[in-house]
Amino acid sequence: MLLQQSAEAEKVTIRTFKELHKIFRQKSFESQLFSIEAYRSCIRQCADYYARRSLLSAKALPWEEQLVKVMWYGLKLSLPQISIILQKSVPVLKAQLRHVREQMTAQEDLLPSGNLSVV
């Protein structure tokens, strides 16, 4: 979701699975924490990709807010789940989501509301 469908997304997915495989093979592996570690690993890989490629434009949301947006609207995780994964408090996440909604509303306001077809 963060990288859409691209060749680079496939590479990031492979790196994420390799990282998770290393964790899985450890003797101290805790199965209950594995899903949280999976999210964190994916987030790290995507963040590294964005840092290397500098894909964020001036109009785009900051990385942290893009991440919260995808987890809330795309994955439909609850705020407590996002809080555990990102290690942020729920009030901080609420503030980020408020900003995301404001940005989304501002972008919607820029879209034409009428029919633009020529008769």
Among 27-31, 45-49, 94-98, the minimum mean pLDDT is found in 27-31
Q: Does domain 57-110 fall into CATH 1.10.10?
A: yes
**What are the tokens at 79?**
């705020």
pLDDT digits (tens, 9 = 90+) for 9-31: 788 888 888 888 887 787 676 77
> How much is the pLDDT for 119?
44
What is the pTM for the complete model shown? 0.64
Q: Three-class SS string for 44-72?
A: HHHHHHHHHHCCCCCCCCCHHHHHHHHHH
CA distances from 92 to 53, 80, 99, 118 (A): 27, 12, 11, 47
pLDDT digits (tens, 9 = 90+) for 75-88: 899 999 999 999 99
User: Who's near 45: CB < 8 A, 6+ residues apart?
Assistant: 12, 15, 16, 19
Within the chain, which residue ranges are assigned CATH 1.10.10? 57-110
